[in-house]
A and B are shown apart, each in its own frame.
Chain A
Amino acid sequence: MTVEKPRIGVYICDCGLNILGVVDVPAVVRYAATFDNVVAAKEYKYMCSDPGQDLIKKDIKELKLNRVVVASCTPTLHERTFRTTVSTAGLNPFLFHMVNIREAVSWVTVDKKRATEKAKILVKAGVMRVTLQEPLEPKTEPVAPGILVIGGGIAGIHASLALANAGTKVHLVEREPSIGGNMARFDKTFPTLDCSSCILTPKMTTLKVHPNINLYSYSEVVGVEGYVGNFDVTIERKPRYVNEELCIGCLKCIEACVFKDARFPNDFDLGLAKRKPIYIPFPQAVPTKVLIDPDDCLFLKLGKCKQTCVDACEKDAIDFEQKPERVNLKVGSIIVATGFKTFDPTRKPQYGYGVLPNVFTALEAERLLSPTGPTEGIPLLKDGTMPKTIGIIHCIGSRDENTNVYCSKVCCMYSLKLAHLVKERTGAEVYNFYIDMRTTGKGYEEFYKKLLEEGVRFVRGRVAELTTAPLSPGEKGKLIVRVEDTLAGYVRRIPVDMAILSVGLEPQNDAQELRRMLNLSCGKEGFLMELHPKLAPVSTATDGIYIAGACQGPKDIPDTVAQAGAAASEALALVHRGMVEIEPYVAVTNEDLCSGCQICVGLCPYFAIEYDAEKKVSRVKDVMCKGCGVCVAACPSGAIDQKHFRDAFVLAEVAGVI
């Protein structure tokens, strides 16, 4: 290797006032200019802008720079930008180093003098590091053509259709027996009052017959290995005890079941309606295939039954011998669209959910309002009578220091929608108890105005409790809402017949397991974390995995659909490119130093190190190495090093920062 004298260019970014406002950039530039081998040290307002990048390119050519340092924002944001800059000017992109003086200095330091000192030190460390860096070639690998979509709610459905329409093979995995998610439970959607089924079910049926979509309903993703472009996915198909290929959805088996009455709670109706052991979750289910619940079915539970369902099935589709099946797939990209669960209101016992009669969650109210729901669209009380007054209580499990501090975003609007619908169907007096009305969306404020004109009552104040203990004869037999009316300025007791709790949105119960399987990050509240809140809202820190819908945070249907489209386009871009560049930060073995102890072999989580028994040395398999560097740190002979993170590079940086 020819030793070329380093000629380093150092570029310090003002980032408008983001850096310049705190760090004395000219002083840092003067300091950087004093280092050995630094040929150019320059300041610019926005290094990432075209003129900023041109400045670097020009200097590389004119001053024959062979190393470049840019001190600006975090490398997560612009390392790739500047690598491209230097490589278009003919310099190997790995002879570049980025120093973070914005997120790590100017934005987190109060004292300007100390911020400037810190910036100087970091720039010095960067110069020391870049001096040692070596040219590398990025690894390129082919991208597998298929895309996995996890979750068949509206986000997963929309993303799958977008991808499939673009000609990409999609594997959609939904753990429930039918796709549709929560949207399938709703009667109407705000603010247009579109019939939810009417807009959703056509998409569901299109998806089912789409030649590019493989639908795995009643299935779960149980394993994901690999990396961007090459994910190995394991899907477990739960037994329906009905052959999906043969079942034509005639539902004769359900009629024929030895249980004459439906007596088991139907999950789709949140237990408000009953079903038989052999059932279909809801009439519009896709796929329209029945399934048997093994916990309820007499034959599966006790081994004894007349099996009238088997006799009724003309297609011989019922198969009590079915076992879980595993399917292995290779995909290039993954879209996670696993949605949300609603807040469990038993965590707020003051609202009496599950204890007091006629207290429903908003999702239950959606089912009560659905024509296919337990009360056929008329929200009735438990005794079958029509409610005369209904209270809708906002912010249950949202904006609450004791449960979730965040706003669930959709509750104000769905509460307004429910208020409109229950008033329309029952003629009842409807109260909304709210903290603030948050109606920020197209047509949302107008919808709120409309409700005000419809005579729905609004009481501003967080409800203290729901009680059945009357203080006056008028309160007898009623649910009494105790609330401080913060506009009127006194505590009120408002008797109602039915209370609807506007529960917030939370991550799914098993969101953490899924997150770990996919190697994603999540925020405090458990929602999946995007790569950048503004500029990469559907990407994740794991390349090739995208997120859409409420698994990323509470959002309404329009936002979910928009995000699903965005995720689809990102995944499509990756798959259509066909090739992916992988950072070449791999470990390399120096066989002359290797003692053959094989400590590294056992440590590698990717089985990327093999032992050559003949030569008695261990060797890193380049293509399987993910570049964590665990083996490098463990090698007792110092025989392994990591490209771009060589011991010498890290130590140079350490020496620089001290």
Chain B
Amino acid sequence: MAQAVSPPIQTTESKSEGSSFEPKIVAFFCNWCTYAASDLAGISRMKYAPNVKIVRVMCSGRIDPSFVIEAFRSGADGVMIGGCNPGDCHYKEGNYKTMRRYMLLSRMLQDFGIEKERFRLEWICASCARELQETVDKMTADIKRLGPLDWKGV
């Protein structure tokens, strides 16, 4: 197995305080609903904050809590999980399992000092491009207000 590459990071995104702060948000989207919504947002040319970077998984139920913790540990200012509405999961009930894990993980992260607003679970259906745009923009604005996280892990 090959080792992961670590290419030089040359982004202009800075972690400086104030209005120039651009939060880094990792968004785990399920393939069937929320990723489809993001495609629809694209097709509909809806503009949203580029701070959110999407990582596609087949089901929100695949999202291991360690993915979220790892994202925060490596420097994310926010993590969003997007899945199908309750009852609409492509895999019957994966989103219910996501919900249970989210509840627990959210409390745990708050105990670690990570504000609630930095970790969100959203049900966004395949045709809900508008909700996607609003949620992403709101989350970006919320985290801008909170400032950088700079969490070093536990």
Contact = CB atoms under 8 A, between A and B. Distances in A.
B38 interface: yes
Given A128-B5, A654-B55, A524 B127 contact: yes
Nearest to A32: B7
Contact of A541 (B9, B94, B126): B126
B59 A128 contact: no
A585 B12 contact: no
Given A630-B61, A651-B67, A128 B4 contact: yes
Contacts of B46: 108
A34 B53 contact: no
Given A102-B42, A107-B45, A34 B7 contact: yes
Interface string A1-32: 10111100000000000000000000000010
A213 B24 CA distance: 57
A626 interface: yes
Nearest to A583: B58
Contacts of A31: 10
Nearest to A66: B2
A124 B94 CA distance: 29
Contact of A658 (B24, B39, B62): B24
Contacts of A585: 58
B90 interface: yes
Q: Which of B12, B24, B92 has the most CB of A within 10 A?
A: B92
A645 B64 contact: no
Interface residues of A, number: 71
B5 A523 contact: no
Interface in A535-586: 541-542, 585
A317 interface: no
Nearest to B88: A516
Contacts of A533: 43
B39 A605 contact: no
B153 interface: no
A118 B7 contact: no
Nearest to A521: B126
Nearest to B41: A108
Contact of A628 (B7, B13, B48, B62): B62
Given A522-B127, A647-B66, A651-B67, A630 B59 contact: yes
B53 A645 contact: no
Given A521-B33, A630-B91, A108 B48 contact: yes
Pick the most buried of B2, B59, B63: most chain A CB atoms within 10 A of its CB. B2
A453 interface: no
Interface stretch (A109-117, A172-180, A418-426, A484-492): A109-117
Interface in A26-58: 31, 34-37
B93 interface: yes
B95 to A, nearest CB: 10
B19 interface: no
A122 B38 CA distance: 15
| Chain B binding surface, main DSSP class | loop
A115 B13 CA distance: 12
Interface string B2-34: 111111111111000000001010100000110
B57 to A, nearest CB: 6
A561 B131 CA distance: 34
A131 interface: yes
Given A519-B90, A529-B126, A541-B32, A629 B5 contact: no
A516 B71 contact: no
A107 B57 contact: no
A558 B46 CA distance: 33
A34 B133 CA distance: 33
A593 interface: no
A107 B4 contact: no
Given A529-B126, A642-B62, A118 B50 contact: yes
Interface string A126-164: 011001100000000000000000000000000000000
A121 B53 contact: yes
B59 A629 contact: yes
B138 interface: no
Interface string B77-88: 000000000011
Interface in A505-527: 516, 519, 521-524
Given A103-B43, A107-B43, A605 B10 contact: no
Contacts of B61: 628-630, 633
A105 B55 contact: no
Contacts of B55: 125, 650, 653-654, 657
Contact of B1 (A102, A117, A132, A522): A132
A198 interface: no
A135 B88 CA distance: 32
Give me the 5 closest cross-chain CB pairs, A-B, nearest first.
Answer: A103-B42, A629-B62, A628-B91, A630-B61, A657-B53
Interface of A: 1, 3-6, 31, 34-37, 74-76, 100, 102-105, 107-111, 113-115, 117-118, 120-122, 124-125, 127-128, 131-132, 516, 519, 521-524, 529, 533, 541-542, 585, 603, 605-606, 626-630, 632-634, 642, 645, 647-648, 650-655, 657-658
13 contacts: A37-B5, A102-B42, A104-B38, A109-B48, A120-B10, A521-B32, A521-B126, A521-B127, A541-B126, A628-B61, A629-B94, A633-B101, A654-B76
Given A629-B59, A647-B66, 6 more contacts: A37-B5, A103-B38, A117-B50, A542-B90, A645-B58, A645-B62
Interface of B: 1-13, 22, 24, 26, 32-33, 35-36, 38-39, 41-43, 45-48, 50, 53-59, 61-67, 70-71, 74-76, 87-88, 90-94, 97, 101, 125-128, 133
